[in-house]
């Protein structure tokens, strides 16, 4: 691919990210005329319109969206090659963008970042804490941590640990309402549910996903924060389903009591996912190896940690 075409693709991506041609010109820096000329040349080369230009913003056409996503991937691969040729396999350098579930990132990853940055002084880290599936290409993410079965067949997955989901309630709640003995008893209890879309939830029980049971839960409290759910449970609001590592202290201090242990689901795998093109990235590999080593040492996820 000619260098001028690569430069035009980089300008196109910068314009989309910046939201306007003038903003892209300021950030490059370049002239507005040059930015406009490069994008026009791309449209002529591919024989299609890529952007709809208005006085206030840019909008991608369908073909523009395809080129934008692929261009970001191609430019990312080129950056990886540049890092490798510059010796980054020996000393990781540059920017590492990581996405993690918010609670896991706050409790298990953020406390390690000081040591990680001290170990790799040429790296900078951007930690994105979100409870949704992210698009690694579109959002320019090098590495994502995800709990559960992996559906992204085009991504490389490395298993880091396993997460055990457990059910808990406060002693005060159990004294008032009694302790459920089997999953079906939950129909008579107040359940607190992690979700941002109230409705009907399903909790799975039993060690085998195929032979286990699924119980429909009509919760009285729906919260999109596991922290808030645990706080409500401690206050006696009802029964929660949370990762075991989140409430380890509350269980040890007697503020929560573990329920239905004989019916708990099998642990869910925790994977690090990344694009195949970044398999050899020194910074991605360094971060994964660092997490594995530290989690093996401190075992923050319990005995299911690898």
Cis (ω within 30 of 0) for the bond into 141? Answer: no
Give dist(CA 180, CA 184) in Å, integer.
Answer: 8
CA-nearest of 229, 302, 227, 233 to 270 is 302
Indicate whether 160 belongs to any domain.
no
Tell me, yes or no, whether 171 and 259 share the same domain.
yes
Number of other CB atoms surrounding residue 33 within 10 Å: 10
pLDDT digits (tens, 9 = 90+) for 24-75: 888 777 888 888 888 888 888 888 888 887 656 788 888 888 888 888 888 8
Same domain, 13 and 78: yes
User: Could you tell me the two tokens for 193?
Assistant: 């549910």
- Residue 64's domain comprises 3-85
Q: At 244, is the secondary structure helix, strand, or coil?
A: helix
Model pLDDT for residues 140-196, shown as the tens digit of each residue: 889 999 988 877 567 888 888 888 999 999 999 999 999 999 999 998 999 999 887
Distance separating alpha carbons of residues 189 and 261, to the nearest angstrom: 17
Write a three-state SS string for 101-132: CHHHHHHHHHHHHHHHHHHCCCEEEEEEECCC
The reply to whether 90 falls in a domain is no
Same domain membership, residue 119 and residue 64: no
Using the CB atoms, write b or e for 199-219: b if 16+ within 10 Å: eebebbbbeeeeeeeebebeb
Same domain, 40 and 116: no
Name the domain boundary from 85, 106, 128. 85
First to last CA, the chain: 43
Dihedral pair phi/psi, residue 283, rounded to 5°: -70, -40
Q: What percent of the chain has pLDDT over 90?
A: 35
Count of domains forming the chain: 3
Contact status, residue 257 vs residue 239, Cβ threshold 8 Å: no
Q: What is the pTM of this model?
A: 0.65
């Amino acid at each position: 691919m000619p260098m001028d075409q690569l430069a035009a693709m980089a300008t196109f991506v910068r314009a989309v990210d910046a939201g306007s041609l003038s903003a892209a010109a300021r950030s490059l820096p370049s002239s507005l005329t040059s930015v406009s000329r490069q994008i026009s040349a791309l449209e002529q080369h591919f024989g299609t319109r890529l952007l709809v230009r208005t006085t206030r913003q840019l909008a991608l056409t369908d073909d523009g969206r395809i080129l934008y996503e692929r261009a970001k991937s191609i430019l990312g691969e080129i950056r990886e090659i540049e890092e490798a040729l510059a010796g980054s396999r020996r000393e990781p350098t540059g920017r590492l963008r990581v996405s993690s579930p918010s609670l896991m990132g706050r409790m298990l990853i953020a406390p390690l970042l000081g040591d990680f940055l001290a170990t790799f002084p040429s790296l900078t880290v951007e930690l994105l804490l979100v409870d949704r599936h992210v698009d690694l290409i579109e959002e320019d993410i090098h590495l994502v941590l995800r709990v559960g079965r992996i559906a992204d067949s085009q991504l490389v997955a490395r298993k880091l640990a396993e997460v055990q989901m457990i059910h808990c309630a406060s002693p005060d709640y159990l004294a008032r309402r009694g302790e459920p003995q089997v999953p079906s008893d939950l129909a008579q209890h107040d359940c607190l549910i992690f979700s941002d879309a109230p409705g009907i939830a399903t909790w799975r029980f039993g060690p085998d996903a195929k032979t286990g049971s699924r119980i429909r839960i009509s919760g009285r409290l729906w919260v999109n924060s596991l922290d808030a759910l645990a706080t409500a449970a401690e206050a006696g609001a009802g029964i929660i389903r949370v990762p075991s590592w989140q409430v380890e202290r509350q269980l040890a201090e007697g503020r929560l009591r573990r329920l239905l242990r004989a019916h708990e689901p099998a642990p869910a795998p925790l994977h690090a996912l990344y694009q195949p093109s970044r398999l050899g990235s020194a910074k991605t590999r360094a971060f994964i190896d660092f997490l594995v080593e530290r989690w093996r040492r401190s075992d923050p996820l319990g005995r299911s940690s690898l």
